[in-house]
Structure 1
Amino acid sequence: MYQTTLITFNELTVSSLYQLLKLRTDIFVVEQDCPYPELDNRDQDALHGLAYEGEKLIGCLRILPRKSSGAVSIGRVAVQVDYRSHGIARRLLNEAIAYLQEQGEVLIDLQAQAHLKEFYGSFGFEEKSEIYLEDGIPHLDMQMQLSEVPKRLQE
Protein backbone atom coordinates (compact mmCIF):
# COMPACT_ATOMS: atom_id res chain seq x y z
CA MET A 1 0.00 0.00 0.00
CA TYR A 2 1.00 3.61 -0.43
CA GLN A 3 2.01 5.93 2.37
CA THR A 4 1.60 9.69 2.15
CA THR A 5 2.98 12.50 4.24
CA LEU A 6 3.14 16.29 4.33
CA ILE A 7 6.54 17.62 5.40
CA THR A 8 8.58 20.80 5.28
CA PHE A 9 11.69 21.20 3.16
CA ASN A 10 13.93 20.92 6.22
CA GLU A 11 12.34 17.58 7.11
CA LEU A 12 13.29 16.05 3.76
CA THR A 13 16.12 13.56 3.96
CA VAL A 14 18.85 13.74 1.34
CA SER A 15 17.37 10.62 -0.29
CA SER A 16 13.83 12.05 -0.27
CA LEU A 17 14.99 15.36 -1.72
CA TYR A 18 16.91 13.58 -4.48
CA GLN A 19 13.89 11.39 -5.32
CA LEU A 20 11.58 14.42 -5.29
CA LEU A 21 13.74 16.46 -7.65
CA LYS A 22 14.30 13.46 -9.93
CA LEU A 23 10.58 12.64 -10.09
CA ARG A 24 9.63 16.20 -10.97
CA THR A 25 12.43 16.52 -13.54
CA ASP A 26 11.55 13.15 -15.11
CA ILE A 27 7.94 14.26 -15.57
CA PHE A 28 7.95 18.01 -16.11
CA VAL A 29 11.19 18.32 -18.09
CA VAL A 30 11.89 14.95 -19.75
CA GLU A 31 8.45 13.32 -20.25
CA GLN A 32 6.76 16.57 -21.22
CA ASP A 33 9.77 17.64 -23.30
CA CYS A 34 9.80 21.02 -21.62
CA PRO A 35 13.21 22.46 -20.79
CA TYR A 36 12.52 24.92 -17.99
CA PRO A 37 14.17 25.68 -14.64
CA GLU A 38 12.50 23.04 -12.41
CA LEU A 39 14.56 24.27 -9.49
CA ASP A 40 12.88 27.63 -8.85
CA ASN A 41 14.14 28.39 -5.33
CA ARG A 42 10.62 28.07 -3.88
CA ASP A 43 10.85 24.55 -2.43
CA GLN A 44 12.51 25.82 0.73
CA ASP A 45 9.31 27.67 1.74
CA ALA A 46 6.92 24.93 0.62
CA LEU A 47 5.15 22.10 2.37
CA HIS A 48 5.70 18.92 0.38
CA GLY A 49 3.15 16.16 -0.08
CA LEU A 50 4.91 12.88 -0.78
CA ALA A 51 3.53 9.45 -1.69
CA TYR A 52 5.68 6.37 -1.25
CA GLU A 53 5.52 2.70 -2.04
CA GLY A 54 7.97 1.38 0.51
CA GLU A 55 11.04 3.60 0.18
CA LYS A 56 10.26 4.62 -3.42
CA LEU A 57 8.77 8.07 -4.03
CA ILE A 58 5.90 7.67 -6.50
CA GLY A 59 4.04 10.98 -6.25
CA CYS A 60 4.34 14.51 -4.96
CA LEU A 61 2.89 17.98 -4.73
CA ARG A 62 3.89 21.17 -3.03
CA ILE A 63 1.98 23.83 -1.15
CA LEU A 64 3.36 27.35 -1.37
CA PRO A 65 2.61 29.90 1.36
CA ARG A 66 -0.13 32.49 1.14
CA LYS A 67 0.42 35.18 -1.48
CA SER A 68 -0.64 38.82 -1.32
CA SER A 69 -3.94 37.72 -2.90
CA GLY A 70 -4.68 35.77 0.29
CA ALA A 71 -4.44 32.40 -1.45
CA VAL A 72 -2.07 29.51 -0.86
CA SER A 73 -0.94 27.67 -3.96
CA ILE A 74 -0.78 23.97 -4.78
CA GLY A 75 1.52 22.93 -7.59
CA ARG A 76 4.07 20.47 -8.92
CA VAL A 77 1.52 17.63 -8.66
CA ALA A 78 3.22 14.62 -10.21
CA VAL A 79 2.89 10.82 -10.17
CA GLN A 80 5.34 8.34 -11.71
CA VAL A 81 4.04 6.87 -14.97
CA ASP A 82 3.64 3.31 -13.64
CA TYR A 83 1.49 4.55 -10.74
CA ARG A 84 -0.96 6.80 -12.58
CA SER A 85 -4.67 5.97 -12.36
CA HIS A 86 -4.11 4.44 -8.91
CA GLY A 87 -5.62 7.41 -7.04
CA ILE A 88 -2.29 8.71 -5.78
CA ALA A 89 -2.69 12.31 -6.98
CA ARG A 90 -6.26 12.32 -5.65
CA ARG A 91 -5.08 11.11 -2.25
CA LEU A 92 -2.29 13.70 -2.09
CA LEU A 93 -4.68 16.50 -3.07
CA ASN A 94 -7.34 15.41 -0.58
CA GLU A 95 -4.75 15.39 2.21
CA ALA A 96 -3.39 18.79 1.18
CA ILE A 97 -6.88 20.32 1.03
CA ALA A 98 -7.86 18.84 4.40
CA TYR A 99 -4.61 20.13 5.94
CA LEU A 100 -5.18 23.63 4.54
CA GLN A 101 -8.72 23.67 5.92
CA GLU A 102 -7.40 22.65 9.35
CA GLN A 103 -4.93 25.54 9.13
CA GLY A 104 -7.76 27.99 8.50
CA GLU A 105 -6.89 28.72 4.88
CA VAL A 106 -9.84 29.73 2.73
CA LEU A 107 -8.48 30.12 -0.81
CA ILE A 108 -6.26 27.87 -2.95
CA ASP A 109 -4.77 28.83 -6.31
CA LEU A 110 -3.61 26.28 -8.86
CA GLN A 111 -2.02 26.56 -12.31
CA ALA A 112 -3.41 23.48 -14.03
CA GLN A 113 -2.31 21.90 -17.24
CA ALA A 114 -5.41 22.33 -19.41
CA HIS A 115 -5.96 18.61 -20.00
CA LEU A 116 -6.37 18.17 -16.21
CA LYS A 117 -9.16 20.75 -15.85
CA GLU A 118 -11.85 18.16 -15.08
CA PHE A 119 -9.62 16.32 -12.61
CA TYR A 120 -9.02 19.48 -10.58
CA GLY A 121 -12.63 20.51 -11.06
CA SER A 122 -13.68 17.31 -9.28
CA PHE A 123 -12.13 18.74 -6.10
CA GLY A 124 -14.00 22.02 -6.40
CA PHE A 125 -11.43 24.09 -8.29
CA GLU A 126 -13.02 26.55 -10.73
CA GLU A 127 -11.52 28.10 -13.85
CA LYS A 128 -10.27 31.63 -13.32
CA SER A 129 -8.55 32.29 -16.65
CA GLU A 130 -8.56 31.43 -20.31
CA ILE A 131 -6.10 28.79 -21.47
CA TYR A 132 -2.58 30.17 -21.95
CA LEU A 133 0.82 28.71 -22.78
CA GLU A 134 3.35 28.30 -20.03
CA ASP A 135 6.65 26.82 -21.16
CA GLY A 136 4.87 25.66 -24.33
CA ILE A 137 2.17 23.72 -22.44
CA PRO A 138 -1.49 24.85 -22.28
CA HIS A 139 -2.43 25.89 -18.72
CA LEU A 140 -5.25 27.67 -16.98
CA ASP A 141 -5.57 29.28 -13.57
CA MET A 142 -7.98 27.60 -11.18
CA GLN A 143 -9.08 28.51 -7.67
CA MET A 144 -11.02 26.93 -4.81
CA GLN A 145 -12.83 28.49 -1.89
CA LEU A 146 -12.25 26.00 0.92
CA SER A 147 -15.55 26.79 2.59
CA GLU A 148 -17.22 25.31 -0.51
CA VAL A 149 -15.38 21.95 -0.50
CA PRO A 150 -17.92 19.11 -0.40
CA LYS A 151 -17.69 16.98 2.77
CA ARG A 152 -17.18 13.79 0.70
CA LEU A 153 -13.76 15.08 -0.43
CA GLN A 154 -12.58 15.53 3.13
CA GLU A 155 -12.66 11.81 3.94
Structure 2
Amino acid sequence: MRKNSNQKNGKTRINPNNQGVSSVVGVIIMVSIVTLMAAIAGAFVMGAITIPEPAPTTSISIEEINEDEIRLIHNGGDTLHTEDLRIIIYNLDTEEQNNRIDLDSEELESEINKEQWNNGERIDLNLDEIDVSDGDRIDIRVMHTSSQTTLYSELKTH
Protein backbone atom coordinates (compact mmCIF):
# COMPACT_ATOMS: atom_id res chain seq x y z
CA MET A 1 0.00 0.00 0.00
CA ARG A 2 1.27 3.38 -0.98
CA LYS A 3 1.45 6.19 1.59
CA ASN A 4 0.02 9.63 0.95
CA SER A 5 2.79 12.18 0.47
CA ASN A 6 1.23 14.39 3.17
CA GLN A 7 1.43 11.60 5.72
CA LYS A 8 4.61 10.87 7.56
CA ASN A 9 4.85 8.25 10.26
CA GLY A 10 1.05 7.93 10.31
CA LYS A 11 0.44 11.67 10.94
CA THR A 12 -1.19 14.02 8.46
CA ARG A 13 0.89 17.03 7.59
CA ILE A 14 -0.90 20.35 6.96
CA ASN A 15 0.37 22.35 4.04
CA PRO A 16 1.80 25.60 5.50
CA ASN A 17 1.18 27.54 2.26
CA ASN A 18 -2.17 29.34 2.95
CA GLN A 19 -1.41 32.47 0.94
CA GLY A 20 -3.95 31.69 -1.75
CA VAL A 21 -6.82 31.60 0.75
CA SER A 22 -5.84 34.82 2.54
CA SER A 23 -5.61 36.81 -0.71
CA VAL A 24 -9.10 35.70 -1.77
CA VAL A 25 -10.54 36.67 1.63
CA GLY A 26 -8.76 40.05 1.41
CA VAL A 27 -10.20 40.76 -2.03
CA ILE A 28 -13.73 39.87 -0.87
CA ILE A 29 -13.44 42.19 2.15
CA MET A 30 -12.09 45.06 0.01
CA VAL A 31 -14.90 44.68 -2.57
CA SER A 32 -17.47 44.66 0.27
CA ILE A 33 -16.05 47.84 1.80
CA VAL A 34 -15.96 49.68 -1.54
CA THR A 35 -19.54 48.59 -2.32
CA LEU A 36 -20.75 49.76 1.09
CA MET A 37 -19.01 53.13 0.71
CA ALA A 38 -20.51 53.59 -2.75
CA ALA A 39 -23.99 52.81 -1.41
CA ILE A 40 -23.64 55.35 1.43
CA ALA A 41 -22.31 58.03 -0.94
CA GLY A 42 -25.15 57.32 -3.36
CA ALA A 43 -27.72 57.64 -0.58
CA PHE A 44 -26.35 61.08 0.36
CA VAL A 45 -26.37 62.23 -3.27
CA MET A 46 -29.91 60.96 -3.90
CA GLY A 47 -31.18 62.60 -0.71
CA ALA A 48 -32.19 59.41 1.07
CA ILE A 49 -29.97 60.42 3.99
CA THR A 50 -30.23 64.01 5.15
CA ILE A 51 -28.27 65.77 7.82
CA PRO A 52 -30.68 67.62 10.11
CA GLU A 53 -30.34 71.33 10.69
CA PRO A 54 -28.59 72.01 13.98
CA ALA A 55 -30.81 73.34 16.73
CA PRO A 56 -30.24 76.89 17.89
CA THR A 57 -28.62 77.39 21.25
CA THR A 58 -30.87 79.46 23.47
CA SER A 59 -32.00 80.08 27.02
CA ILE A 60 -35.72 80.55 27.68
CA SER A 61 -37.56 80.83 30.96
CA ILE A 62 -41.00 81.60 32.35
CA GLU A 63 -41.13 85.10 33.72
CA GLU A 64 -44.77 85.03 34.80
CA ILE A 65 -47.74 82.70 34.72
CA ASN A 66 -51.31 83.52 35.72
CA GLU A 67 -54.83 82.41 34.78
CA ASP A 68 -54.85 84.52 31.62
CA GLU A 69 -51.35 84.26 30.14
CA ILE A 70 -47.84 82.91 30.28
CA ARG A 71 -44.93 85.28 29.74
CA LEU A 72 -41.78 83.67 28.34
CA ILE A 73 -38.46 85.51 28.17
CA HIS A 74 -35.59 84.86 25.78
CA ASN A 75 -32.59 85.10 28.12
CA GLY A 76 -29.84 84.65 25.56
CA GLY A 77 -28.41 82.66 22.72
CA ASP A 78 -29.44 82.52 19.07
CA THR A 79 -32.27 84.59 17.63
CA LEU A 80 -35.30 82.37 17.12
CA HIS A 81 -37.43 82.64 13.97
CA THR A 82 -41.12 82.10 14.65
CA GLU A 83 -41.46 80.16 11.37
CA ASP A 84 -39.33 77.42 12.99
CA LEU A 85 -41.08 77.36 16.37
CA ARG A 86 -43.98 75.49 17.88
CA ILE A 87 -45.18 76.04 21.44
CA ILE A 88 -47.27 73.46 23.26
CA ILE A 89 -48.91 74.17 26.61
CA TYR A 90 -50.70 71.41 28.57
CA ASN A 91 -52.76 71.62 31.71
CA LEU A 92 -51.99 68.21 33.23
CA ASP A 93 -54.57 68.49 36.00
CA THR A 94 -57.80 68.81 34.07
CA GLU A 95 -59.91 66.11 32.49
CA GLU A 96 -61.62 68.50 30.09
CA GLN A 97 -60.96 68.40 26.37
CA ASN A 98 -59.60 71.91 26.32
CA ASN A 99 -56.46 71.11 28.29
CA ARG A 100 -53.96 71.91 25.54
CA ILE A 101 -52.78 74.82 23.40
CA ASP A 102 -50.69 73.94 20.36
CA LEU A 103 -49.33 76.99 18.53
CA ASP A 104 -47.70 76.21 15.20
CA SER A 105 -45.50 78.78 13.44
CA GLU A 106 -48.38 80.67 11.78
CA GLU A 107 -50.49 80.84 14.94
CA LEU A 108 -47.47 81.88 16.98
CA GLU A 109 -46.54 84.66 14.56
CA SER A 110 -50.07 86.07 14.65
CA GLU A 111 -50.22 85.69 18.46
CA ILE A 112 -47.01 87.63 19.17
CA ASN A 113 -46.87 89.80 16.00
CA LYS A 114 -43.16 89.06 15.43
CA GLU A 115 -41.15 87.07 12.94
CA GLN A 116 -38.17 86.79 15.29
CA TRP A 117 -37.66 86.37 19.01
CA ASN A 118 -34.45 88.10 20.10
CA ASN A 119 -32.42 88.16 23.32
CA GLY A 120 -34.17 89.98 26.13
CA GLU A 121 -37.57 89.97 24.43
CA ARG A 122 -40.68 88.66 26.12
CA ILE A 123 -43.67 87.00 24.55
CA ASP A 124 -47.09 86.76 26.14
CA LEU A 125 -49.14 83.70 25.30
CA ASN A 126 -52.86 83.86 25.91
CA LEU A 127 -54.36 80.99 27.95
CA ASP A 128 -57.99 81.64 26.98
CA GLU A 129 -58.28 78.25 25.26
CA ILE A 130 -57.54 76.20 28.39
CA ASP A 131 -58.82 76.29 31.95
CA VAL A 132 -56.11 77.02 34.49
CA SER A 133 -56.74 77.00 38.24
CA ASP A 134 -54.49 77.47 41.25
CA GLY A 135 -52.38 74.38 41.89
CA ASP A 136 -52.65 73.07 38.30
CA ARG A 137 -49.49 71.67 36.76
CA ILE A 138 -48.73 73.34 33.44
CA ASP A 139 -46.28 71.75 30.97
CA ILE A 140 -44.70 74.26 28.56
CA ARG A 141 -42.59 73.18 25.59
CA VAL A 142 -40.88 75.30 22.95
CA MET A 143 -39.99 73.17 19.93
CA HIS A 144 -37.68 73.95 17.02
CA THR A 145 -39.45 72.29 14.09
CA SER A 146 -36.59 72.41 11.56
CA SER A 147 -34.26 70.39 13.76
CA GLN A 148 -37.05 68.51 15.57
CA THR A 149 -35.57 69.54 18.91
CA THR A 150 -37.12 70.69 22.17
CA LEU A 151 -35.52 74.03 23.06
CA TYR A 152 -37.33 74.48 26.35
CA SER A 153 -39.45 72.27 28.54
CA GLU A 154 -40.67 72.98 32.05
CA LEU A 155 -43.38 71.71 34.33
CA LYS A 156 -44.69 74.61 36.37
CA THR A 157 -47.28 74.68 39.13
CA HIS A 158 -49.72 77.57 38.80
Give the TM-score normalised by the residue count of structure 2. 0.24
Of structures 1 and 2, the one scoring higher in RCO (CA 8 A, sep 6+) is 2
The structure that is helix-richer by fraction is 1
Q: Rg larger in 1 or in 2? A: 2
Give the TM-score normalised by the residue count of structure 1. 0.25
